[in-house]
Chains A and B, each alone.
Chain A
Amino acid sequence: NAGVTQTPKFQVLKTGQSMTLQCAQDMNHEYMSWYRQDPGMGLRLIHYSVGAGITDQGEVPNGYNVSRSTTEDFPLRLLSAAPSQTSVYFCASRRTGNIPETQYFGPGTRLLVL
């Protein structure tokens, strides 16, 4: 299993540009999520999905859109990038159930918005 994969590894954008961060997992996990990591602020939840066709907002959703058309893929879209979105983005996945399950993270995408 490749686990959780993310592309690209690094991206530079200009203010106002749009882009999509890709995330895929091959573990048949129902739950997928996106976090951003900023210095001194830990990992903050942007959006999450409990299954294909179902998404919901996390702690910091503004400026980001998601969709979940398949179990495997969970792309994150920045419609109009802003310097405040400069961060490292991590995708994660896990199984769902009545008890919490181990969450697996991808290697991250470093985004710089100029």
Chain B
Amino acid sequence: GENVEQHPSTLSVQEGDSAVIKCTYSDSASNYFPWYKQELGKGPQLIIDIRSNVGEKKDQRIAVTLNKTAKHFSLHITETQPEDSAVYFCAASSTGGGNKLTFGTGTQLKVEL
């Protein structure tokens, strides 16, 4: 089955700096890569996703890049703000796998003032 590795496990940045979280996946058939943000005491919420037919997607301060050859994808947050502090999860799924999501282990992002 699919295996998703996520790094780093914790990340601390100064407000206004950029943050990058990286994930690798093992199943070359995976074709959908969402990113979730989880605030303390809440359920994960989708913030951005990318499908395998594109290499990059942006939404305001958030962007995701995908390298299918190397089987890795990354989340980029620019101009970080204190409200960006949360746990971020990457995930991967494939149509052939019934679209079941396999999650990474999460990154605790802390944006310091």
Which A residues form the contact surface with B (CB < 8 A)?
4, 31, 33, 35, 40-45, 48, 50, 58-59, 90, 92, 96, 98-108
Q: Which residues of A contact B106 (CB under 8 A)?
A: 40, 42
B9 interfacial by beta-carbon distance below 8 Å: yes
17 contacts between A and B (CB under 8 A): A42-B4, A42-B103, A43-B101, A45-B101, A45-B102, A58-B100, A92-B43, A99-B95, A100-B31, A100-B34, A100-B93, A103-B101, A105-B43, A106-B43, A107-B42, A107-B43, A108-B42
| Cα separation A35 to B44 with both chains bound (whole Å) | 11
- Is B45 an interface position by the 8 A CB rule? yes
A35 to chain B, nearest CB (A): 8
Given A98-B95, A99-B95, A103-B34, do A108 and B43 touch, yes or no (CB 8 Å)? yes
Q: A41-B105, A42-B105 are contacts. A100–B46 as well, Cβ < 8 Å? A: no
Task: Choose one: A4, A59, A102, A108; the contact of B46 (CB below 8 Å).
Answer: A102
With A and B bound together, what is the CA distance between A58 and B93 in angstroms?
14
Residues of B within 8 A of A (CB): 1, 4, 6, 9, 31-32, 34, 36, 41-46, 49, 51, 89, 93, 95, 98-106
Q: What's the Cα separation between A33 and B89 when bound, in Å?
A: 17
Contact status A96-B99, CB under 8 Å: yes
In the bound complex, CA of A108 to CA of B99 (Å): 22
